[in-house]
Chain A
Amino acid sequence: MRAATFTYSPLLYWINKRRRYGMNTAINTGPPLPVTKTETEVQSSDPLGQLDSSERSHAAQERSPNVEAPVPLQPALQPVPQQPLLSPMLRPHASSSLPIPIFQEVPLAVSLCNLPPMLNHSVSYPLATYPERNVHFHSLPTLAHGDHCFNAKPFASEL
């Protein structure tokens, strides 16, 4: 019953085969996102069960919907920029002598369609907390049109 003993993993299969072909391949796995999980949760949620959670990488890149793109993380091939575009908390590991510009991708970007309804002003109210009274505020477009007493309720009613 080999199937019950071993783990079918396409990543392991792929990497082992490429190593057979003489390629220098390795895998690194990051935590499940969002990253607010504790270490235990990270380890237990590891899909392969053999991953070192302390070595997880936060590597990411600008996501392409169809094609994965290589991330030039090797300093020998592409020097590390002096001012990486990521925050220090996103560095991969504190013991790393050479800082690697690994970028953190937004784990689950909220779709614009799922945002709370907003007015076409810079000020918005969620519908649930929208006050009943008329709110008078000014914005540059309304000031430009001379409408100093702007009522936001008609806009909210469109939502």
Chain B
Amino acid sequence: MPLLKEPPPPPQAPLPWILPSLFAAFNVMLLVVFSGLFFAFPCRWLAQNGEWAFPIITGLLFVLTFFSLVSLNFSDPGILHQGSKEQGPMMVHVVWVNHRAFRLQWCQKCCFHRPPRTYHCPWCNICVEDFDHHCNWVNNCIGHRNFRFFMLLILSLCLYSGAVLVTCLIFLLRTTHQPFCIDRVVAIVVAVPAAGFLVPLSLLLLIQAMSVSAAERSYEGKCRYLQGYNPFDHGCASNWYLTICAPLGPKYMTEAVWLQRVVEPDWVPMQNLHLPMCPSSLTPTSGSLQARKGSPREW
């Protein structure tokens, strides 16, 4: 069989952005509309009958859910790009993380070597630091900088759905003696999707909590490339701290220059780090790529 030269593949057309954006906006509107129905009918009836705990609790949860949803829509997932100096795809970059080396892959779209756990999202066409997944519900990537918003959204949605469901059930139980009215219809209309969302959201929250405890990412779960040893795993408590509470630091390309200053004497030398020894025990040598020990500006 002759080996024929295949024509180069046609350039991929950019994915249409209007449909995912409309879907994300539709989700926000869905939350607002169902919440409006809930607060206007069953919750109003409970408040008029002296049950102020239900509107207060559900109201606070709605504010939290709406805030996290909108924040996740517009948040920066941790975009990384080439920087000020061009790199070559032929360069070999190896990054050591806790005694495990990562051969960095070259991103053909962004034209730089991606750090570990940084992936190029084909939907957003960006490289995201600590990429977890692309969320179609909010039309945004979930990465290093907005993962805590994502966890907050899941948690608040679970609590809010549960609170709405419980409130609607209590309302239906207390109005059983009343004739069938619009309040009961709306309560059923709101309770059904709340119950439908509660189960998968609880499952998702459980899965994400396990991932955070093990310092894993959803994208890596499909690949199993860690081979039984996760260099990013610092223990359950530290993993939760680093994911939820640790300062994110300045955004790349905004104040990132403070993290990339010229080598100073107090920097920890990074030379010879490809050798199997402790980096802190090495002696400084000029010309090596070094990471800074301290930052002049607190995060």
Contact = CB atoms under 8 A, between A and B. Distances in A.
A128 interface: no
A33 interface: yes
B196 interface: no
A156 B268 CA distance: 62
A25 B95 contact: yes
A106 to B, nearest CB: 11
B251 to A, nearest CB: 10
Interface residues of B, number: 82
B131 to A, nearest CB: 11
Contacts of B273: 26-28
B3 A113 contact: yes
Interface stretch (B13-21, B68-76, B171-179, B289-297): B289-297
Contacts of B82: 10
Interface string A7-28: 1111111111111111111111
Interface in A97-115: 98, 100, 102, 105, 107-108, 112-115
Q: What does DSSP make chain B's interface, helix, strand, loop or mixed?
A: loop
A32 interface: yes
B257 A6 contact: yes
A22 B271 contact: no
Contacts of A20: 247, 249, 295, 299
Given A10-B252, A17-B249, A49-B85, A28 B94 contact: yes
B260 A13 contact: yes
A132 interface: no
Given A13-B252, A31-B92, A47-B91, A74 B99 contact: yes
A63 B2 CA distance: 28
B276 A24 contact: no
Interface in A22-60: 22-34, 45, 47-53, 55-60
A56 B270 CA distance: 12
B287 A50 contact: yes
Contacts of B146: none
Interface residues of A, number: 81
B114 A68 contact: yes
Contacts of A14: 80, 95, 115-116, 118, 129
A30 B97 contact: no
Given A30-B94, A59-B92, A68-B116, A24 B2 contact: no
Nearest to B273: A26
Contact of B113 (A11, A25, A71): A11
Contact of A61 (B86, B103, B256, B274): B103
Nearest to B285: A52
B225 A15 contact: no
A96 B276 CA distance: 9
Contact of B96 (A25, A63, A98): A25
B115 to A, nearest CB: 4
A102 B238 CA distance: 32
B107 to A, nearest CB: 10
B270 A27 contact: yes
Given A47-B85, A77-B99, A77-B229, A10 B80 contact: yes
B288 interface: yes
A155 interface: yes
B182 interface: no
A143 interface: no
A112 B261 contact: no
B88 A12 contact: no
16 contacts: A10-B81, A11-B104, A12-B260, A15-B115, A23-B231, A27-B273, A28-B96, A29-B92, A30-B93, A30-B94, A47-B87, A50-B287, A51-B289, A67-B223, A74-B99, A100-B274
Interface of A: 2-3, 5-34, 45, 47-53, 55-61, 63-64, 66-77, 92-93, 96, 98, 100, 102, 105, 107-108, 112-115, 117-120, 155, 158-159
Given A20-B299, A45-B88, A68-B116, 15 more contacts: A15-B115, A23-B98, A28-B273, A33-B92, A34-B90, A55-B272, A58-B92, A59-B94, A63-B105, A69-B102, A70-B102, A70-B116, A70-B229, A73-B100, A113-B5
